[in-house]
Structure 1
Amino acid sequence: MTQPFTPSAPDRLRVDIWSDVACPWCYIGKRRFEQALAGFDHRDKVEVVWHAFELDPGAPAEHPLSMRDALAQKYGRTPSDAEGMMDHVTRTAAGEGLEYHFGRARLGSTFQAHQLIHHAAQHGKQDAMKERLLRAYMSDGELVSDLDTLVRLAQEVGLDGSEARAALLDGRHAHAVRQDEAQAQALGISGVPFFVLGGKYGVSGAQDPQTLLGALNQVWQETHPAPLQMLGTETPGEGCDDGQCAVPERA
């Protein structure tokens, strides 16, 4: 199970991110956050924790509809409108160096995928697992509800396949996923990606890197005040310290 949702430690900045594997804007948001982090002066002190969010908690293991038809049905639009929506997101993703292939996407439940991300967190590979699952869904046409597929993807990021399979079969991380979703509900999170910085500041959506960098800088400054800088003199003047005052003797 990943660490519980808590404020940052005194010398760290914790960023909690809620997202779904089946969310195209979440992959875009991940890339933009990574760009922001690359420009952040204190990036080596940032701790990123991924949290589960299912856009469709009731999804079957595999949805019979294509991405186009599912979007058209969900939003009450024509298939042509849905194609336009997919084209727009695909172009946006390309601008972030991502390749989306919605035509080969296989829709289905992401519940087990989120469990696998929690399992990877216990082995220091949470971000790598999140990245691989996003690419599997958005680019490779993988069915991320399929057990054998998940085990193979786990192995690709360096996890033990037998351990990953056992964790998914016994559902040991299922409660952690439900905890993530309960936290999201308690925080009023209804859409993803959603970033919580320092345990108290929220940023909604796949914001541009400069906006995210500005948020990182602002939260760091508010939670990690800079030490006092001495100005103007090389030696301190006369004053009182610790309840005592030094009185110079008369010449």
Structure 2
Amino acid sequence: MKIEIWSDIVCPFCYIGKRKFEKALQNFGSDKELDIIYKSFQLMPDIQTDPSLSIDDFLAREKGMSLEQARELNRQVSQQAATLGLDYQLDKAVVANTFQAHRLLQYALSQNLQQQIKERLLQAYFSEGKNIDDRDTLVQLSEEIGLKETEKVLAGDQFTAEVKMDLLEARQLGIKGVPFFVFDRKYAISGAQEPSVFQDTISQAFEEWKSEAFQ
């Protein structure tokens, strides 16, 4: 059964949602029968990569709030992430456009390494302060998980069409926020819901999928 997850690498709730979804999978006995695919989504497609700009300053500017309010929001989301074992170091995070990283995710999908590079990208952005719009950084992260030819892929325009197709499909489905989980194109969950919500939906969708498969 296919599970499609629209998410963006710089979305703090996407990493949190990923962990909650994974907790639900731990209690699901037929995970080998699940085909989990990460789909491309850009929260801010027009953003310009700027390593000199802090995430607090960027958030304050984009949301029209004070710097102190932005800091408090980032502190709160970091605390929420910590309850799931995630170490958010948002004071190090680099403001970056995610299009190239999504191309890498599409390439990794073609090489059956998407799960590994998705986790590595999220860790690099949220915990390590790496610039995920930097080609050398993307090549290095790829090499760490055994993904070859990344430099060659990113030098051209390979997998650009796949990213754009995902972005278009998200608009067609009316997806305006991420993470957004779609189960067998029948059920959907928006946001970083609790593991029990994911578990119930996975079980229901899977039972229906299995019964239809054997009809």
- Compute the TM-score of the two structures, normalised by the length of structure 1: 0.82
Counterpart in the other structure of 2:47:
59
Cα separation, 2, equivalents of 1:29 and 1:121: 20
Q: Which of residues 66, 83, 89 in structure 1 aligns to 2:71?
A: 83
Q: Which of residues 37, 43, 52 in structure 1 aligns to 2:31?
A: 43
> Which runs of 5 or more residues in structure 1 are unaligned?
1-12, 227-251
Q: Are residue 121 (structure 1) and residue 119 (structure 2) matched? A: no
Q: Are residue 211 (structure 1) and residue 207 (structure 2) matched? A: no
**Secondary structure of residue in 1 paired with 2:91:** helix
Rg larger in 1 or in 2? 1
Q: Are residue 173 (structure 1) and residue 146 (structure 2) matched? A: no
Q: CA RMSD in A?
A: 1.4
Cα separation, 2, equivalents of 1:200 and 1:107: 35
What is the deviation of 1:41? Answer: 2.3
* Alignment size in residue pairs: 213
**Secondary structure of residue in 1 paired with 2:211:** coil
Report if aligned partners of 2:181, 2:189 keep a CA contact under 8 Å in 1.
yes
Deviates more, 1:191-200 or 1:70-79: 70-79
Counterpart in the other structure of 1:154:
142
CA deviation profile, 1:79-103 (whole Å, cap 9, x unmatched): 1111110111001101111000000
Amino acid at match of 1:204: S
CA deviation profile, 1:58-99 (whole Å, cap 9, x unmatched): 111336421101111122211111111011100110111100
Report if aligned partners of 1:62, 1:143 keep a CA contact under 8 Å in 2.
no
Counterpart in the other structure of 2:13:
25
Report if aligned partners of 2:16, 2:81 keep a CA contact under 8 Å in 1.
yes
Cα separation, 2, equivalents of 1:51 and 1:63: 26
Report if aligned partners of 1:101, 1:140 keep a CA contact under 8 Å in 2.
yes
Amino acid at match of 1:49: I
> Which runs of 5 or more residues in structure 2 are unaligned?
none
Report if aligned partners of 1:66, 1:106 keep a CA contact under 8 Å in 2.
yes
- Compute the TM-score of the two structures, normalised by the length of structure 2: 0.95
